[in-house]
Copies of this chain bind each other. A is one copy, B any other.
Amino acid sequence: MGLSRDNKKMNSILILSGGMDSATLAYHLKVKKHNIHAITFNYNQRHKKEIESAKKVAKNLNIQHTILDISNIGNMLKGSSLTDDIATPHGHYAADNMKLTVVPNRNTIMLSIAYGIAVSEKSDIVATAVHAGDHFIYPDCRESFIKSLESTLQLGNDSKIELYTPYINYSKGDIALEGDKLLVPYQDTWTCYEGGDKHCGKCGACIERKEAFEINNIKDVTEYL
C-alpha cells in the first residue's frame, strides 16, 4: 500500500471520481512525475456531474482518461441514495442515515476493474483516494479492507502491482491542505451527492467539504446554493 519504488518513473492507474480527494491524488501523482491513466466510472450515480469534473481535472493535467460506463452494474446495486430513487440524507457523515449512501461493493468492483487494466497495461500501481473520513460509514474504505484486497488481487494475478492509498489515514482537511499546496483547482471538482447544478451545501458530502477548507483557513471556492 506504500509506494516502494519511488525512484523510477511509475505507471499509475488512478481512480478519478471528479471529487476533491481523487483530484488531489491526481496532482500528487503528477508532481511525482507518474505516467497516469485515470479511470472514471459512470455507475449511474445521481451526481453524474462529478464525471464532468473528472474530465476537467484530466484535461488540466493532460493525462490519459477513460470513462467506463458501468451503469448497468450500478443499476443492480440497489438500496443506496446515490443510485436509487431515495432522498439524499442531510447532515454529518457520522449520522446513521449516511449509511443510505453505501453502494454495495462499489470500491471492490471499481478497484478490481482498475487492477485488471493495470495488469493488462503493466502498470506499477493502482491509486485511490480513500481517506479516514470514509471509514466510519464505508467498510470498503478501511485500511484493513484495502490491505486484504491488495493481497487478494496480487494472489489472483501472480502480480506485484500495489494499491496506493496515501490518504488512508488523512482527514479530508489533511487532503485539502495538501491540495492547497499543490494548487489543485478545487472549483473544477465536484463533491455534492445531490444531482443539482451547484453544490447543495447540506448533504454529508458538502458539509465535509466545507469543513475541510474552514478548518485549514483555506478559501472555499465552491459555489453553494
Contacts and interface: CB of A to CB of B under 8 A. Distances in A.
A151 to B, nearest CB: 6
B115 A108 contact: yes
A157 B104 contact: yes
Interface residues of A, number: 39
Interface string A42-69: 0000000000000000000000001011
Interface stretch (A26-34, A70-78, A86-94, A187-195): A70-78
A65 to B, nearest CB: 13
Interface in A118-166: 119-121, 139-140, 142, 144-145, 148-149, 151-153, 155-158
A204 to B, nearest CB: 19
A73 B155 CA distance: 21
Contacts of A139: 155-158
Interface string A93-113: 000000000011111110011
B73 A116 contact: yes
6 contacts: A78-B121, A105-B112, A105-B119, A108-B112, A109-B113, A109-B116
Interface of A: 66, 68-70, 72-73, 76-79, 103-109, 112-113, 115-117, 119-121, 139-140, 142, 144-145, 148-149, 151-153, 155-158
